[in-house]
Amino acid sequence: MTTILADCKTKMTNLNLKAIDEQLRDAGLKPTRQRIAIADILFRDGHKHVSAEDLHEEVKKSNIHVSLATVYNTLHQFTTAGLLQEVSVDGAKTYFDTNTHEHQHFFLEDTNEVMDLEGISIDKDDIANVPDNMEIVRIDVVVRLREKSSKA
C-alpha cells in the first residue's frame, strides 16, 4: 500500500503530512506530489501571503517540479475549497492568504508586502444604503503603509 504520501515524506518539512492529505481529500482534490508540496509550503509555518509567482519560486527550491500553470490552478482550487482567501490589495498582482478567518490587512507600498492586521472589524449592520436586493459578501479593509521618510 504505497501511496504518494510515503513517497513525499522524505522531502516534506511538515509534520502533519497526514492532515494535509486529508484536507485535500476532503476538498475533493487528489493529493498529488505537486499539491502536497504546495500545501506543505503554504501551511507549515504561520499565516502567509503569497502571489503565484512567489509561491512558484518557493516550490522550485524543493525537489519537486511544479509548473507555474499548476501553481495557479492549485491556488484557485485551494481557494474554492476554503483553504485560502484571495486578497485584493493592489491592482497588478493577486495575493492569496492562508488566514481565512475574518481579519484585515496592512499593505506596505514600498515593498508590496501584505501583512495581517487583527483587531479592527466593521459590523455589517453599520453599513447603510446597501441596495436591498444585495447582500454583503465581505468587507475588506486595507491599511496602506509607507516608510516615514520616503515621499514617492
| Contacts to a second copy by CB under 8 A | 86, 88-91, 93-94, 106, 108-109, 117, 119-120, 122, 126-131, 133-148
Q: Is 35 in the site for DNA (CB under 7 A)?
A: yes
Minimum distance between the CB of residue 93 and DNA, rounded to whole angstroms?
A: 4
C-alpha cell at 67: 509548473
List the x/- string, 100-119, binding to DNA by CB under 7 A. Answer: --------------------
Minimum distance between the CB of residue 61 and a second copy, rounded to whole angstroms?
A: 26
CA distance 74 to 123: 32
Measured between alpha carbons, how far is residue 57 from residues 64, 94, 111, 133 in Å? 12, 16, 17, 43
Q: Is 62 in the site for DNA (CB under 7 A)?
A: no
Q: Is 74 in the site for DNA (CB under 7 A)?
A: yes
Kindly report the backbone phi and psi dihedral angles of residue 81, in degrees, each rounded to the nearest multiple of 5, phi listed first. Answer: -80, -5
Q: Is 73 in the site for DNA (CB under 7 A)?
A: yes
- Binding piece for DNA, criterion CB under 7 A, among 60-68, 113-121, 123-131, 136-144: 60-68
Q: Strand 113-117 to strand 95-97: parallel, antiparallel, or no bridges (unpaired)?
A: unpaired
CA distance 61 to 102: 31
Angle, nearest 10°, between helix axes 17-26 and 33-44? 110
Q: Is 79 in the site for DNA (CB under 7 A)?
A: no
Residue in 20, 39, 41, 52 binding DNA, rule: CB under 7 A: 52
69 binds, among a second copy, DNA, none (CB under 5 to 8 A by kind): DNA
Angle, nearest 10°, between helix axes 68-80 and 33-44? 70
